Amino acid sequence: MKAAQITSYGAPDVLRVNDVDRPAPGTDEVLVSAEASSVNGHDAIVRAGEVKFMSGRRFPIGTGLDFAGTVAATGPGVEGVTVGERVWGTVHPRKRHITGGAAEYVVVSADRLAPAPADMSPVEAAPLVVAGSTALIALRDSVRLTGGERVLVRGAAGGVGTAAVQLAHAMGGRVTALARDRHAQLLTGLGADEVLDYGSTPSDRIGPFDVIVDTVGSELNRYRSRLAKGGPMVTVGLSPSALASIAATSVYGSRRIRAFSADPDTALLGTLAGHVTSGALRPVIDSVYPLADIAAAHRAFERGGISGKHVVVVSA
């Protein structure tokens, strides 16, 4: 089978599509015929060698955190999963894999996948798995949005940002989206009550906000100052400066910056599918690449300025 793999740490050109043996599911595992994956920040930092403590120094390493496809086989002990069923899910983000979601077949634990939303193609489903789960955890679990809050989504045009705008709107938040001005029409259509151009809007002239969802990971203290007293700020962009800001606010101050690791399980993916079915959440896709061009998808991701996600079509 074909699989995209990291052959050494570095720029996107270290990615290769290789012929590898088709894996077999073990106990409590499921073999999925993957049809689509997407490019996530996790994929980029693993490829660049920024988390070697986790990914190790043995190559090749699989890439692609998320996937959507069809169940091809189940291992011993698996219940409630049917061969031929359309599913979506993730590989384990903190384990080294020879193949990831960007492969014709992927083996995962049964608790890392769930039925994909009905009437949605794998190309539409895959980009929502990580981005949608991250946004849902941020809003539901980390800042505990209840409705009526003034919510700022920073980096609103990206994968997590577009999902956060939609879900915050669905949860009753009054959403301000901070992004490039050219994304204003898109974000308004997703539910933003207000769209501000981050290039021309000084941070000290916006807000205050009851909640801030940050997907950028820089200048956190500047935006933290725009929180109402006691308001939470959550970031998914974990740069060194972001970690320092998070540590500082855990010691003092009423405006806390929080971080988390999105690692969806079957239950959360089921909840996410419910938001899709209800119409509260839809995918935003910037571009679609064949598996052979996955390096180009990574290059486009690193250039930034995107609307939503870059999708990789795998199709066995």
Which pLDDT value is given to residue 254? Answer: 55
168 contacts 175 by C-beta, under 8 angstroms: yes
Which pLDDT value is given to residue 316? Answer: 55
Domains in the chain (CATH in brackets) are 2-120+284-313 (3.90.180.10), 129-259 (3.40.50.720)
Predicted model pTM: 0.93
Q: Which residues pair with 194 in a beta bridge?
A: 176
Q: What is the rounded CA–CA span in Å between residue 187 and residue 171?
A: 16
pLDDT, one tens digit for every residue, the chain (316 residues): 999 999 999 999 999 999 999 999 999 999 999 999 999 999 999 999 988 888 888 999 999 999 999 999 999 999 999 999 999 999 998 888 899 999 999 999 999 999 999 999 999 999 999 999 999 999 999 999 999 999 999 999 999 999 999 999 999 999 999 999 999 999 999 999 999 998 899 888 899 999 999 999 888 888 988 999 889 999 986 554 444 444 445 534 556 677 766 789 999 999 999 999 999 999 999 999 999 999 999 999 999 888 999 999 997 5
Which pLDDT value is given to residue 262? Answer: 76
Q: Which residues pair with 213 in a beta bridge?
A: 153, 234
Joined together, the tokens standing for residue 265 give 């399980």
Annotate the chain with three-state secondary structure. Answer: CEEEEECCCCCHHHEEEEECCCCCCCCCEEEEEEEEEECCHHHHHHHHCCCHHHHCCCCCEECCCEEEEEEEEECCCCCCCCCCCEEEEECCCCCCCCCCCCECEEEEEHHHEEECCCCCCHHHHHHHHHHHHHHHHHHHHHCCCCCCCEEEEECCCEHHHHHHHHHHHHCCCEEEEEECHHHHHHHHHHCCCEEEECCCCCHHHCCCECEEEECCCCCHHHHHCCECCCCCEEECCCCHHHHHHHHHHHHCCCCCEEECCCCCCHHHHHHHHHHHHHCCCCCCEEEEEEHHHHHHHHHHHHHCCCCEEEEEECCC
Which pLDDT value is given to residue 46? Answer: 94
Which pLDDT value is given to residue 238? Answer: 57
188 contacts 128 by C-beta, under 8 angstroms: no
Which amino acid, one-letter code, is at 71? V
Tokens 């595992």 map to which residue?
29
Q: Which residues pair with 150 in a beta bridge?
A: 174
Q: What is the rounded CA–CA span in Å between residue 32 and residue 75?
A: 11
Which pLDDT value is given to residue 252? Answer: 44
Q: What is the rounded CA–CA span in Å between residue 13 and residue 184?
A: 33
Which pLDDT value is given to residue 250? Answer: 52
